[in-house]
A and B are shown apart, each in its own frame.
Chain A
Amino acid sequence: MPATFIQPEFRVKIDYDKCHKCGRCVQQCGWGVYDFNERPIPHDEKCRACHRCVTFCPAHCITIERNPLAYRDNDNWSASLRKAVWKQAETGGVLLTSMGNPQPYPRIFDHLLLDACQVTNPSIDPLREPMELRTYLGRKPDAVKVEPDGAGGFRLAEGGGMSRNVELATPIIFSPMSYGSVSLNVHKSLAMAAERCGILMNTGEGGLHEDLYPYQDHVIVQVASGRFGVGPDYLKRGAAIEIKIGQGAKPGIGGHLPGEKINKEVSSTRMIPQGTDAISPAPHHDIYSIEDLRQLIYALKEASGYKPVGVKIAAVHNVAAIASGIVRAGADYVYLDGFRGGTGAAPAVIRDHVGIPVEIAIAVVDQRLREEGIRNQASIVAAGSIRSSADVAKAIALGADVVAIGTAALIALGCHVCQSCHTGNCSWGITTQKPELTRRIDPEWGAERVSNLINAWSHELQEILGALGVNAIESLRGSRERLRSIGLDEQTSRILGVKPAGM
């Protein structure tokens, strides 16, 4: 019998008439697609369509095509389902995958439309007028308390103002991606970009490498169930601390970084032995209830000198009640990760079938917190496939304070969304620890690419605000009146708190 029934997904075609026979494709491919025997010889079955070879081929002679192999039509038993069964029959294992849920569930962002001004209220030109995106992440008091300052004016009364908040120049931050799942150069790129853009990067659960210490004021340090790299020094370095309960790509599931990725640097940053698997348990073994979470939140505040502490959860069915509990437990922000959120590795069955869309999660959490009168007590960070500045604007209009981007930032660094992060062979040098691959990202270059993306989206947000006739992001935040739905059922529109187009 053949080793596998699964046929290659792609075909690598080389126009040998144009080929320089330079071998760059062989050198660039992290998947080992190419042999070289006087000319490059591709092995289609290894190709992930990541386009690394295509991008670097000096002769532009490589084309990647979808394998046109026909499967007998069957809407029920799709080719991918058949392949999954074959793979599991061969291995007996859980099917692993990576990045966000690619299945054709509805994308609610694509069914929401933004408003604009005409005549009765003027639009504002962001090229000529101030257009403010500054955002404060963290808890706000119910009201500002002032007292006379003795000179005829006023000053804040003791404790009457905003408690510790993190200032963001634009309401976009980077989502947690651990050192280990991504390379140190990726972490450096994000940290440098965060500093330049006045925003935050997030360590993920893999600790903070000392090379990032210069950027620590722009870093959220994460505390996850594995507690990798967590110590008093770590907690004090961050601008904020984040307790990771769940992840949109794998709600209820822990993490597993294979020993091959635990090199010397990862080992020292994570504080675990080199070469051992880094396993994050599914739950925190000191959080089995909401009161346990409260204790951890306050323990982290005590340990860090009262830094803001956020809690990241996956958007699941009962997300509004969970978020309300988190806010009442003392969190300064709630991070909602929708079911399209990315991952460096997850079981496909979980990624593709668990959780709810972030749009819904934002809407119900924002509404619930308002109904309970505690919306000001915590910021809402929304993530889970924010793909463009339009998604940012829509998420904010639904009620998010800030959005976090992971995949988009990696795409800026070269990621082609081939969904093979878990293999550790990323040809773009992003989700790998192989030195010959990680050196493909120069942090300076990476920081510029990612900064460009943040700046470009920020400019686009300013254009959107100007068209809406407002000149500050807080006037869009939670303003669902500026959204209309198109092609959504009535119930979904009601849950989103958005009127259908035409009303």
Chain B
Amino acid sequence: MSVTRPRYAEEAPFKIHGGCGLAGICDESGATMSGEDIILAMAVQRDRGNGLGGGFAGYGIYPEFPDHFAFHMMYHDEQAREEAEVLLNEHCVVDLAEPMPTRPVKGISDAPLLWRYFLKPLPGELERLELSEEDLVVRLVMTINAAVDGAFVASSGKNMGVCKGVGFPEEIGHFYRLEEYEGHTWTGHNRFPTNTPGWWGGAHPFALLDWTIVHNGEISSYGINSRYLEQFGYKCTLGTDTEVAAYLFDLMLRRHGLPLELACKALAAPLWSEIDRMPEGERELMRSLRAVYGPAMLNGPFAIILGFNGGMVALNDRIKLRPLVAARSGSKVIVASEEAAIRAVAPEPDVVWMPKAGEPTVARVAGMPWPIHGDLHLTPAEISCAVVGVEDVCDEAVEVTA
């Protein structure tokens, strides 16, 4: 299977209708688990995919390189690798470059060349380009994905990585030897391609920096979401609607400095009738948020899990047109398309609940930075009440009887 981005005309034969499955596990204590749990959670949701895409994101998996950007790359051929490496070396010091460790798995064929790199910006490079570290990486990712034929950046964050491809997720997980990694947060995805062909780069999670997205649904507002992002220099090259969600989070959280809770409220905006009933200050805030980020609102059915170095957030569309179940089991927060996936890894969870439309379900790893960027410099304590925390939701949750 190639990593060359498919052209539009080639898309038609792949228009297969259906859905997707997703799962996410986060140990809020920061304790790590191997990739086996998330593989198991995805395996029981096998029917939600069709073997044309599976993938995982793991956080905390590269403790030996905590301050390096880990680039997971897919190459169509050696030439693409050489061209991409020229770009990487032009701006960065690559401290380790090696093929991804994989093993042969029945059902997985036509894998592209898979490489990973641990890199840092060249000394003086950020000053020379007048860019932040993150902006440089974003620019590099955009350039490689758009300009290097046959090369694709699967992930580009620190101490995390995305392993994905064409196949059922449990096959992909074993192919990438995920049982050998230890992470505190994992997300997984089982794909039933609807609007892009099953190709390695097009599998979920989609990633930028340490942000990853797994998505079930079809974003009906893709047309305007992508045009909005183009204004800010993002190039939507994958021809898939999920990509925009990753970039929108990056724009709002990192570049506009919005708190995570408000970013979620912009993406799955409350109804005007709800906003009109809010107290004055909040009403003005939400009115501005919705009017300004109207083009960013994700409309249409979706359930997404946003992963990042401090944890994960699961979010449904504003009228909950896709399934999403959440549970807490000890220090673990588990979200999935189906309760079966939760019970596969935690047979007796403390609570299971159904998150409401547009209300984020949040899992935070203790001691990890919270995704607040920009000029705010807020401490996690200052925003914890604003975010609909897992504890708050638990109060309303249905108790699970054994």
Contact = CB atoms under 8 A, between A and B. Distances in A.
B224 A478 contact: yes
Interface of B: 8-9, 17-18, 194-195, 217-218, 220-224, 226-228, 230-232, 255-259, 261-262, 269, 271-273, 281-282, 284-285, 287-295, 297, 299-301, 318-319, 321, 376, 378, 382-386
Given A144-B293, A373-B231, A471 B318 contact: yes
B220 A475 contact: yes
Contact of A376 (B222, B255, B273, B292): B292
Contacts of A148: 378, 382-383
A120 B18 contact: yes
B294 A474 contact: yes
A481 interface: yes
A476 interface: yes
B256 A144 contact: yes
B217 to A, nearest CB: 7
Given A149-B281, A471-B318, A479-B221, A156 B231 contact: no
Interface in A471-489: 471-472, 474-482
B292 A140 contact: yes
B204 to A, nearest CB: 16
Contact of A478 (B227, B287, B289, B383): B227
A121 B284 contact: no
Nearest to A156: B285
A136 interface: yes
The winner among A143, A147, A370 for most chain B CB atoms within 10 A is A143
Contacts of A173: none
The winner among A120, A140, A151 for most chain B CB atoms within 10 A is A120
Contact of B382 (A121, A130, A152, A474): A152
B271 A132 contact: yes
Contacts of A469: 218, 220, 299-301
A120 B301 CA distance: 9
A476 B384 CA distance: 34
A134 B272 contact: yes
Nearest to A469: B220
A471 B220 CA distance: 10
Contacts of B9: 503
Contacts of B376: 146-147
Contacts of A474: 224, 290, 294-295, 297
B135 to A, nearest CB: 16
Interface string A456-476: 000000000000111110111
A140 B292 CA distance: 6
Contacts of B386: 152-154
7 contacts: A132-B272, A146-B259, A151-B385, A161-B284, A474-B224, A474-B295, A475-B224
A21 interface: no
Given A144-B292, A475-B224, A470 B285 contact: no
Nearest to B317: A471
A153 B8 CA distance: 44
B288 A156 contact: yes
B382 A129 contact: no
Nearest to B302: A121
A2 B288 CA distance: 69
B382 A144 contact: no
A470 B299 contact: yes
A121 B217 contact: yes
Contacts of A375: 231
Contacts of A468: 220
B385 A153 contact: yes
A146 B374 CA distance: 11
Contacts of B258: 143-144, 146
Given A121-B300, A370-B227, A375-B231, A141 B292 contact: yes
A115 to B, nearest CB: 9
B303 to A, nearest CB: 13
A469 B317 CA distance: 12
A13 interface: no
Given A146-B262, A471-B318, A475-B224, 15 more contacts: A120-B17, A130-B273, A144-B288, A146-B258, A152-B383, A152-B385, A153-B386, A154-B386, A155-B282, A161-B284, A165-B291, A370-B230, A474-B295, A475-B220, A478-B223
B218 A130 contact: no
A259 to B, nearest CB: 46
A162 interface: yes
A275 interface: no
Given A155-B285, A481-B222, A162 B292 contact: yes
Contacts of B284: 156, 161
A375 B296 CA distance: 14
A477 B295 contact: yes
Contacts of B293: 144
Contacts of B292: 140-141, 143-144, 161-162, 376
Nearest to B281: A155
A117 interface: yes
A380 to B, nearest CB: 13
Nearest to A367: B227
Interface string A97-140: 00000000000000000000111111010000110101010001
10 closest A-B pairs by CB: A481-B223, A152-B385, A474-B294, A479-B223, A161-B288, A475-B299, A475-B221, A121-B218, A479-B224, A143-B256
B391 to A, nearest CB: 14
Contacts of A470: 220-221, 299-300
A130 to B, nearest CB: 5
Contacts of A478: 223-224, 227-228, 295
A130 B271 contact: yes
A122 B287 CA distance: 27
A132 B297 CA distance: 13
Interface in A209-244: none
B285 A161 contact: yes
Given A152-B384, A475-B224, A144 B289 contact: yes
A179 B295 CA distance: 37
A44 to B, nearest CB: 53
A147 B375 CA distance: 10
A481 B236 CA distance: 13
A162 B220 contact: no
A160 B262 CA distance: 14
Contacts of A144: 256, 258, 262, 285, 288-289, 292-293
